[in-house]
C-alpha cells in the first residue's frame, strides 16, 4: 500500500478557518478531515468536508490565457502573457499616468499575497488605485471600531470565550449557515436562555433561540433566547432603543463610563428620544421585547453580577449606508454596559472571508499600508518606504474605496487597466449589471484566479495561480489569530503563485524594488513592515508559528511586537489605543436605508448566504455535492405576500429594482416578514441578485448597501429570449 502524508492546514473558505488535515496518498483521492482547533472544536461544515474537490475541478485553470484577435481566450506561455501585461501597463501609464492602472484584491488571499499586492501597487505601479473585496465585507465594522476603540480586530477576544457568557446579542449574522461549527460556542448561553438574534428572517441562527414561548410578552421570545425581527434597514433604531433603556433605566456601568470612556453625556442626549414605543413604530419590534433584551444584557453584565455578555455584529447590519453608525451604536451599547476590555465580555464583528482580517491589515485597502498603518501618516510612510527601499515621496496617497473605483473604470478620467486577484466582481459587486460594460471598456483586464470565474471570462489575460492546499502562507482568522496554511499538493505544472507573478511583473516593468517568491521570506518582510503598527506581526515568523503548533501551543493573536511576546488574545484589558486610553462613545442618528419602498417597488429585498455556498460561488458552484444541494438562486417569500401576488410555491418570480431585474424560484416560508423577500447572492446569470442591489455607500466606510433595497415582485411566467440575451451580454 502506498504511503500517505497528512498535512495540518485550514479550510479554504470562511474566517472561522477550521483546522483540517489534508491527506494525499498515491492510490486514493485527496482527503480532508477536521482536526482539533479552537474555533471549530473538531467540526467542519459541508463546504469544508467537500473542499478537496476544488483541487481536481475539471475546469481548473492550468495555463495562462490571452485573448486573441478573434476574441477567444487561448493558451500561451508565461513569457507571452507576462510580456503582454507589462507592455500594456507601461503604455497605459505613459499615456494616462500612474493612476490609470488599478488593482483589486481579495479577502481570501494569504497575508503574504495581500502584502505583496499592496507593495506592487504602491512601490512598482505607484498607483493609488488599489482596493479589495473586503470593502464589501468588513469596512463598516472596521471604521466604527477604529473610531470608538482605537483599533479594529474583528473579535478582540478568542471565540471560545463566548462559552462563559450569560447573554449574547447577535445582530445580522447567520453563522449557523455561514460557519456552523461556531454554533458550539453558543451552547451554554442558549442553555441559559440568553441568545438574542436580530434578523428580519427566522434564519437557521435565529432558530437557535428555540421554540417560541406562547403568550407572556410576545416579541420573539424563545426557550433559548429571543428572535427580534426588525423591518430591514432599522437595526440602528433598535440599538438606539436598547441604549435608551440601559441609560434611562439606570442599568449602565457608571464607574466604567467614568473611568474608561468619553462622551457619555452626549450619548445620553442623543438617545433620549428613542423610547421603546417609538422604536417599535420604526422597527416593528415590540416595545416589551426591546426592554426585555436590554434588561437581559444588563443582568449578564459584570456590573450587575452577571458572568458576562457579548454584542456581535455581522454583514446583515453592516452592509448598509448607515453600517458604520450601526456598528458604532452596537459598540456604544457594549460600552454603556461596561463590557469592552473585560475578560468574559465584549463587542466583536464576525469576519466573513477566509482572510478578511489579514487582508485588511497589510496594504490592500485604499488608505492603508502594512501593519494597519494610515497611508496619510508621514511616519508610517517613512517606515514602510524604508522596508521597501524607496523614497517615501514616491508612495502614492490614499486612493478611493471599491465602489467608487469600480464606477471610475474605463471612464475618460478613470483607470484604463485593472489587475484582479482573488475576486469575482461580476457576481459579488453591487449593481453588477452595469459593471460588465465598465470592464469591457478597459484597455486591459487581467484576472489571476484558480477557475474561469465570470470575471475571468471577460479578461484580456487570465493567469492560473495556486490555491489553498497548493501553497505555503499564513491567514489571520476572525479572532486575529495568525495561522499557517501549508502546501499539501503540488499545483499543476504551469500554475504559479501570485508571489512569483508579481516578482516577474516587477522585473519586466524595470522596478528596482525586490520581490521575494518564498512565502516565509515574504512574511519576514511583512513582519518588519508591520512593526510598530496597529496590527504588529514583528514577533512572528513561519518558524515560530510552526514550532508553536508542533508543541500544541495556543497560537498567536496580534499584536505580537517581538519574538518573546506571547501575543494578545484579549485586547483593551487595561486601556484603549486612543490618545487618552479611553474608548469613545460616538452619538449617531438613524436615517434609514438609502432606498425606501414605494409604489413601483413596494417590497424589501434582503440578501445573504446559504450553507452550501461561499461568496460568489465561483468555487462552491463547482463542487458537485454543493451545487446539487442548492443548484440555483431562489426567492424566499411569505405565503401571505405570495398569495397577494398570485405566486405559488415553486413559481419563477422576477424581482425588479431601479437597477435591473433578477429571478428565481419562489420558496414559500413563514420564516420571513410578509413585507420582505430574501435571495442568496452566490449565483450568476438570471439569478445573480447583485444585478439589483444598491451601490449607494456608507459615507464613512464606503461599504455598499447590499442588504436592503426596494423591489417589485411579480410572477415570471417565462423568460423572454431577449431578456436572456440581455443578461448574457
Ligand atoms: S467554510 Fe468555514 S465553517 Fe465551513 S469548514 Fe470551512 S472554515 Fe469551517
Q: Is residue 153 part of a domain?
A: yes
Higher pLDDT, 432 or 383: 383
Q: Is the pLDDT of residue 583 over 60?
A: yes
CATH of the domain at 84: 3.40.50.740
- The tally of domains found in the chain comes to 4
Band (pLDDT 50/70/90 cuts) for residue 209 is very high
* Pair 207, 149 in one domain: yes
Residues 284 and 344 in one domain: yes
Query: What is the DSSP-derived secondary structure letter of residue 86?
Result: H
Domain closes at, from 512, 537, 562 = 537
Task: Decide if pLDDT at 215 tops 80.
Answer: no
CA-to-CA distance for 366 and 255, rounded, in angstroms? 39
Is the CB of residue 230 below 6 angstroms from any atom belonging to ligand 1?
Answer: no
Q: Is residue 328 domain-shared with residue 389, that is, in the same domain?
A: no
Does residue 588 belong to any structural domain of this protein?
no
> For 497-508, what is the mean pLDDT?
98
Which tens digit of pLDDT belongs to each residue from 462-494?
999 999 999 999 999 999 999 999 999 999 999
Give residue 324's pLDDT band: very low, low, confident or very high (50, 70, 90): very high
| In a shared domain, residues 316 and 382 | no
Are 232 and 333 in the same domain? yes
User: Is residue 581 assigned to a domain?
Assistant: no
User: Which residue has the least CA distance to atom 4 on ligand 1?
Assistant: 45
Nearest-atom number in ligand 1 for the CA of 182 is 3
Task: Tell me, yes or no, whether 27 and 77 share the same domain.
Answer: no
- Cα 660 to the chain's mean position, in Å? 25
CATH number of 673's domain: 2.40.40.20
| Residue whose entry in the numeric block shows the C-alpha cell 433605566 | 249
Q: What is the CATH number of the domain that holds 28?
A: 2.20.25.90
In-domain check, residue 470: yes
Ligand 1 neighbour 39 (Cβ under 6 A):
no
Q: Is 344 in the same domain as 364? A: no
pLDDT of 2 > 50? The answer is no
Give me the CATH number covering residue 328. 3.40.228.10
Give the end of a domain, one of 56, 79, 98. 56
Assess if residue 467 is contained within a domain: yes
The pLDDT tens digits for 134-183 are: 888 888 999 999 999 999 999 999 999 999 999 999 999 999 999 999 99
Task: Give the domain-ending residue among 12, 39, 56.
Answer: 56
- Structural domain of residue 262, as residue ranges? 139-350
Q: 18 in ligand 1 pocket by Cβ < 6 Å?
A: yes
User: What's the confidence (pLDDT) of residue 298?
Assistant: 98
Beta carbons of 306 and 297 less than 8 angstroms apart: no
Do residues 120 and 262 share a domain? no
Per-residue pLDDT, averaged over 567-584, amounts to 97
Residue burial 317-353, b: 16+ Cβ < 10 Å; e: rest: bbbbbbbbbbbbbbbbbbbbbbbbbbebbbbbbbbbb
- Predicted local confidence at residue 241, as pLDDT: 98
Do 346 and 360 have their domain in common? no
559 in any annotated domain? no
193 and 129 in one domain?
Answer: no
User: 584 lies in a domain?
Assistant: no
- Is residue 545 in a domain? no
Residue 728 has pLDDT above 60, yes or no: no
| Same domain as 615, residue 716 | yes
Average pLDDT (665-670) is 96
16 lines ligand 1 (CB under 6 A): yes
- Distance in Å, CA 589 to ligand 1 centroid: 36
Same domain, 168 and 209: yes
Question: According to DSSP H, which parts of 100-138 are helical?
Answer: 111-119
Nearest CA to ligand 1 atom 8: 18
Concatenating the DSSP letter of every residue in 473-511 gives: EEEE-TTSEEEEE---SPPPTT-B-HHHHHHHHHHHTT-
* pLDDT score of 218: 57
Over range 562-591, report the average pLDDT. Answer: 97
R_g over Cα of the chain:
25
Nearest CA to ligand 1 atom 3: 179
Amino acid at each position: 500500500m502506498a504511503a500517505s502524508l497528512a498535512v495540518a492546514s485550514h479550510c479554504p473558505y470562511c474566517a472561522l478557518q477550521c483546522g483540517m488535515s489534508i491527506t494525499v496518498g498515491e492510490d486514493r483521492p485527496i482527503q480532508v478531515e477536521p482536526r482539533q482547533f479552537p474555533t471549530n472544536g473538531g467540526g467542519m461544515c459541508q463546504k469544508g468536508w467537500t473542499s478537496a474537490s476544488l483541487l481536481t475541478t475539471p475546469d481548473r485553470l492550468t495555463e495562462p490565457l490571452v485573448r486573441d484577435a478573434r476574441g477567444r481566450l487561448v493558451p500561451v506561455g508565461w513569457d507571452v502573457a507576462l510580456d503582454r501585461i507589462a507592455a500594456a501597463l507601461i503604455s497605459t501609464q505613459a499615456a494616462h499616468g500612474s493612476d490609470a492602472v488599478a488593482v483589486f484584491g481579495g479577502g481570501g488571499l494569504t497575508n503574504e499575497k495581500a502584502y505583496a499586492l499592496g507593495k506592487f501597487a504602491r512601490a512598482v505601479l505607484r498607483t493609488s488605485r488599489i482596493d479589495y473585496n473586503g470593502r464589501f465585507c468588513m469596512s463598516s465594522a472596521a471604521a466604527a471600531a477604529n473610531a470608538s476603540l482605537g483599533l479594529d480586530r474583528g473579535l478582540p477576544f478568542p471565540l471560545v470565550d463566548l462559552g462563559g457568557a450569560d447573554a449574547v446579542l447577535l445582530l445580522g449574522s447567520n453563522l449557523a449557515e455561514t460557519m456552523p461549527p461556531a454554533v458550539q460556542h453558543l451552547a451554554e448561553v442558549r442553555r441559559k436562555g440568553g441568545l438574542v438574534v436580530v434578523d428580519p428572517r427566522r434564519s437557521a441562527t435565529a432558530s437557535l433561540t428555540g421554540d417560541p414561548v406562547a403568550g407572556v410578552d410576545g416579541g420573539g421570545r424563545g426557550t433559548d433566547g429571543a428572535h427580534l425581527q426588525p423591518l430591514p434597514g432599522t437595526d440602528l433604531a433598535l440599538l438606539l432603543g436598547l441604549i435608551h433603556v440601559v441609560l434611562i433605566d439606570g442599568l449602565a456601568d457608571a464607574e466604567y463610563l467614568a473611568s474608561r470612556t468619553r462622551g457619555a453625556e452626549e450619548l445620553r442626549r442623543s438617545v433620549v428620544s428613542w423610547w421603546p414605543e417609538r422604536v417599535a413604530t420604526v422597527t416593528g419590534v415590540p416595545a416589551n421585547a426591546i426592554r426585555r433584551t436590554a434588561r437581559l444584557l444588563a443582568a449578564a453584565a459584570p456590573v450587575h453580577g452577571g458572568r458576562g455578555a457579548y454584542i456581535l455584529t455581522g454583514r446583515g447590519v453592516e452592509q448598509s449606508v448607515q453600517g458604520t453608525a450601526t456598528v458604532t451604536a452596537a459598540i456604544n451599547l457594549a460600552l454603556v454596559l461596561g463590557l469592552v476590555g473585560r475578560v468574559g465580555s465584549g463587542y466583536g464583528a464576525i469576519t466573513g472571508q477566509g482572510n478578511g482580517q489579514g487582508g485588511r491589515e497589510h496594504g490592500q485597502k485604499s488608505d492603508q499600508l502594512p501593519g494597519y498603518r494610515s497611508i496619510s501618516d508621514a511616519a508610517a510612510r517613512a517606515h514602510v518606504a524604508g522596508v521597501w527601499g524607496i523614497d517615501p515621496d514616491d508612495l502614492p496617497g490614499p486612493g478611493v474605496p471599491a465602489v467608487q473605483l469600480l464606477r471610475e473604470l474605463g471612464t475618460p478620467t478613470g483607470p484604463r487597466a485593472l489587475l484582479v486577484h482573488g475576486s469575482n466582481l461580476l457576481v459579488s459587486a453591487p449593481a453588477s449589471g452595469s459593471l460588465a460594460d465598465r470592464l469591457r471598456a478597459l484597455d486591459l483586464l487581467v484576472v489571476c484566479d484558480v477557475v474561469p470565474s465570470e470575471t475571468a471570462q471577460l479578461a484580456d489575460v487570465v493567469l492560473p495561480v495556486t490555491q489553498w492546499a497548493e501553497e505555503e502562507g499564513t491567514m489571520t482568522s476572525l479572532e486575529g489569530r495568525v495561522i499557517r496554511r501549508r502546501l499539501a499538493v503540488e499545483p499543476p505544472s504551469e500554475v504559479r503563485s501570485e508571489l512569483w507573478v508579481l516578482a516577474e511583473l516587477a522585473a519586466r516593468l524595470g522596478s528596482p524594488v525586490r520581490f521575494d517568491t518564498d512565502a516565509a521570506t515574504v512574511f519576514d518582510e511583512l513582519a518588519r513592515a508591520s512593526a510598530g503598527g496597529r496590527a504588529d506581526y514583528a514577533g512572528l515568523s513561519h518558524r515560530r508559528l510552526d514550532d508553536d503548533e508542533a508543541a500544541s501551543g495556543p497560537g498567536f493573536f496580534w499584536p505580537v511586537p517581538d519574538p518573546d511576546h506571547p501575543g494578545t488574545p484579549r485586547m483593551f484589558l487595561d486601556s484603549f489605543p486612543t490618545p487618552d486610553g479611553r474608548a469613545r462613545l460616538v452619538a449617531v442618528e438613524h436615517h434609514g436605508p438609502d432606498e425606501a419602498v414605494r409604489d413601483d417597488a413596494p417590497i424589501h429585498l434582503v440578501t445573504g448566504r446559504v450553507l452550501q455556498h461561499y461568496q460568489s460561488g465561483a468555487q462552491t458552484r463547482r463542487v458537485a455535492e454543493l451545487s446539487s444541494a442548492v443548484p440555483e438562486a431562489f426567492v424566499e417569500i411569505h405565503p401571505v405576500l405570495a398569495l397577494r401576488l398570485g405566486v405559488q410555491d415553486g413559481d419563477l418570480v422576477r424581482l425588479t429594482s431601479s437597477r435591473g431585474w433578477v429571478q428565481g424560484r419562489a420558496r414559500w416560508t413563514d420564516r420571513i416578514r410578509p413585507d420582505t423577500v430574501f435571495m442568496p447572492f452566490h449565483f450568476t446569470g438570471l439569478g445573480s441578485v447583485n444585478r439589483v442591489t444598491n451601490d449607494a455607500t456608507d459615507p464613512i466606510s464606503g461599504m455598499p448597501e447590499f442588504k436592503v433595497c426596494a423591489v417589485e415582485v411579480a410572477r415570471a411566467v417565462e423568460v423572454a429570449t431577449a431578456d436572456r440575451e440581455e443578461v448574457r451580454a
